[in-house]
A and B are shown apart, each in its own frame.
Chain A
């Protein structure tokens, strides 16, 4: 099985993202720190392994990494320049 066949998209981690951020996040727009492209998180690529990696669908730059452990949830987002959550979806 190729790596490509294991690729999912942001919709597949919508529940996890909402658990972390407390609001609907697939419509939030992320801007890639690598190539500068902006996409709704629902449209970014997602790979699952020991954790979850969200990658830019244009340049494959890792945007966000999420790992859940027994003590908490680790979130790394050095590849994400900005994240815009529309005000209508914030409680």
Chain B
């Protein structure tokens, strides 16, 4: 596993689109078959490169959503209206199309089942994508590690992987949603931005020394990480991945 994931030189590979699934009104999951794909670890990403007719190239990073296995990988991409790459990926790509990508990339924001739990995952919007790879990896490995996902979305319809998260819950996995803008009638869950009180209620206590992974937009990640440190979690156990406003 480690050998496959840390191979040195990165090479651009041709990836074939084999499936496109709608997740929400703004997000799609694109499945690729990547000949020669060396395997990956949960939490790693790929760089995607688009080249136009004039030779102009644009590169963006996207987290891998799927658990490791074979030469197929899935990316879940949220459409950013003023983005340079994401509108192409979500609106234009069709089964049979090809793009260039390289990876797997990264080794810091990674969880392996043999690290065990407890694990606290905190995601904002499409920041859930690498966390979903960890949830899928946990199930795929038959792990029953205590894993909790605190997931912030704007509305119930904006919850990426909503049905699958529901299905995978139990057996040690707890999923807690907060809906920050609108809530469906009768909603009894959280309806505010993630704060210290919420993290205290949902997450393992600091003395349980959970592995913590936080992914989302920069202000979200920093607010959550600061709140976790104030609760007494050790900074070095909190791994963060920010995606900025220029992404997409």
Determine if B105 and A12 form an interchain contact, defined as CB atoms under 8 angstroms apart: no
| A12 and chain B: residue at smallest CB distance | B61
Determine if B108 and A7 form an interchain contact, defined as CB atoms under 8 angstroms apart: no
Task: Known contacts A6-B246, A42-B106; decide if A11 and B241 are in contact (CB<8 Å).
Answer: yes
Bound-state Cα–Cα, A36 to B218, Å: 25
Contacts of B106 in A (CB 8 A): 11, 14, 24, 26, 42
Contacts of A91 in B (CB 8 A): 6-8
Bound-state Cα–Cα, A26 to B2, Å: 15
How does the 8 Å CB contact mask read for A10-28 relative to B, with 1 for contact and 0 for none? 1110110011001110110
Does A4 lie at the interface of the complex (its beta carbon under 8 Å from any beta carbon of B)? yes
Bound-state Cα–Cα, A19 to B8, Å: 8
Determine if A4 and B219 form an interchain contact, defined as CB atoms under 8 angstroms apart: yes
Bound-state Cα–Cα, A40 to B241, Å: 13
Determine if A23 and B6 form an interchain contact, defined as CB atoms under 8 angstroms apart: yes
Does B243 lie at the interface of the complex (its beta carbon under 8 Å from any beta carbon of A)? yes
Does B244 lie at the interface of the complex (its beta carbon under 8 Å from any beta carbon of A)? yes
Which one of A22, A23, A42 has the highest number of Cβ atoms from chain B below 10 Å of its Cβ?
Answer: A42
Bound-state Cα–Cα, A41 to B107, Å: 10
Determine if B61 and A24 form an interchain contact, defined as CB atoms under 8 angstroms apart: no
Task: Known contacts A26-B109, A88-B2, A89-B107; decide if A15 and B240 are in contact (CB<8 Å).
Answer: no
Determine if B8 and A40 form an interchain contact, defined as CB atoms under 8 angstroms apart: no
Report the interface size for chain B: residues with CB under 8 A from the other chain: 29
Q: Which of B47, B240, B245 sits near A6, CB closer than 8 Å?
A: B245
Bound-state Cα–Cα, A42 to B10, Å: 18
Determine if B6 and A4 form an interchain contact, defined as CB atoms under 8 angstroms apart: no
Q: Which of A6, A41, A43, A88 sits near B244, CB closer than 8 Å?
A: A6
Report the interface size for chain A: residues with CB under 8 A from the other chain: 27
Determine if B8 and A42 form an interchain contact, defined as CB atoms under 8 angstroms apart: no
Task: Known contacts A5-B245, A23-B6, A48-B246; decide if A11 and B108 are in contact (CB<8 Å).
Answer: yes
Task: Known contacts A6-B245, A26-B107; decide if A18 and B219 are in contact (CB<8 Å).
Answer: no
How does the 8 Å CB contact mask read for B79-105 relative to A, with 1 for contact and 0 for none? 000000000000000000000001101
| A39 and chain B: residue at smallest CB distance | B236
Q: How close is B105's CB to chain A, nearest CB, in angstroms?
A: 5
Q: How close is B81's CB to chain A, nearest CB, in angstroms?
A: 16
Q: How close is A50's CB to chain B, nearest CB, in angstroms?
A: 14
How does the 8 Å CB contact mask read for B1-39 relative to A, with 1 for contact and 0 for none? 010011111100000000000000000000000000000
Contacts of A24 in B (CB 8 A): 5-6, 8, 105-107
Bound-state Cα–Cα, A6 to B7, Å: 30
Residues facing A in B205-237 (CB within 8 A) are 218-219, 222
Q: Which residues of B contact A (CB under 8 A)?
A: 2, 5-10, 45, 47, 59, 61, 102-103, 105-109, 218-219, 222, 239-246
A-B pairs with beta carbons under 8 Å apart, 16 shown: A4-B219, A6-B246, A7-B244, A9-B241, A11-B108, A12-B244, A14-B105, A14-B106, A14-B108, A15-B10, A22-B8, A27-B108, A42-B106, A42-B107, A42-B108, A42-B241
